[in-house]
Amino acid sequence: MTQYLIENVHNNTPDWQNVPALDINIYPWYQGGTKQKSKVKLAANKETLFIRIIAQDNYSFAKQTELNHMLICEDSCVEFFFSPSGILGSSYVNLEVNCCGTLHLAYGTGRENRQFISLEAASLIQRNASITSPVKFECADDNQWTVEIALPFAAVEALTGESVNKDKWFGNFYRCGGRTDPQYAVWHNIDVAEPDYHRPEHFGELVFL
């Protein structure tokens, strides 16, 4: 099983330059086009998980501006699915963020009947995107976008109704979306025939140091 060790920090400002990255570089459903690079870095303190996304993108696109919109996955997007219980195959959160920083978070046992995060809980989540406009259309200068997210454990607990495990989670990271050269990449391989990110049994291990 693929494993990533989450750096422990003592404040709210991770030294990202010295935090190792995981690569979203497996393409189980590749059909064609450029395999653009996607990396994620994670760090945490006792209260917050910090996420930094670095996505090479020659065709950055985003039109969704509404929290929990169901089509954020069709924008230039990176997704983080995780089981905060620390039990492989258990109920999971899907956190999706487009290149402008618009979020979608939901929780449940599978793709149907998921519970969406409330406005109150979502307001606890801080994010900073390199693309500062609310929407983005492709242009000749596109090459990369970054998004940083500070995800308080309190926001996760408000969504799930359960305490998070602060020793270990299981999860996966995905790159998808965009109108031109869409990506369907994963961190931990998903061995199924058709694109399907809702596969908690294929999550990797995330260990809090």
What does the pLDDT look like over 49-106, one tens digit per residue?
999 999 999 999 999 999 999 999 999 999 999 999 999 999 999 999 999 999 999 9
Kindly report the backbone phi and psi dihedral angles of residue 208, in degrees, each rounded to the nearest multiple of 5, phi listed first.
-85, 125
Q: pLDDT > 90: what percent of the chain?
A: 92
Averaged pLDDT for residues 177-187: 90
Residue-level pLDDT at 32:
83
Residue-level pLDDT at 182:
83
The whole-angstrom separation of Cα 123 and Cα 72 is 18
Residue-level pLDDT at 33:
84
Mean residue pLDDT of the chain comes to 96
Helix, strand or coil, per DSSP, at residue 4? strand
User: Is there a contact between 204 and 3 (Cβ–Cβ < 8 Å)?
Assistant: yes
Contacts of 144 (CB under 8 A, 6+ apart): 54, 55, 56, 57, 130
Residue-level pLDDT at 181:
84
Q: Comparing C-alpha atoms, which of 103, 108, 74, 73 is closest to residue 91?
A: 108
The whole-angstrom separation of Cα 187 and Cα 42 is 14
Kindly report the backbone phi and psi dihedral angles of residue 157, in degrees, each rounded to the nearest multiple of 5, phi listed first.
-65, -35
Of all helices (H) and strands (E), which one includes residue 122? Answer: helix 119-122
Q: Which residue has the tokens 């994620």?
A: 40
Residue-level pLDDT at 160:
98
Residue-level pLDDT at 189:
97
Class of the 19-192 domain? mainly beta
Residue-level pLDDT at 31:
85
Averaged pLDDT for residues 171-190: 93
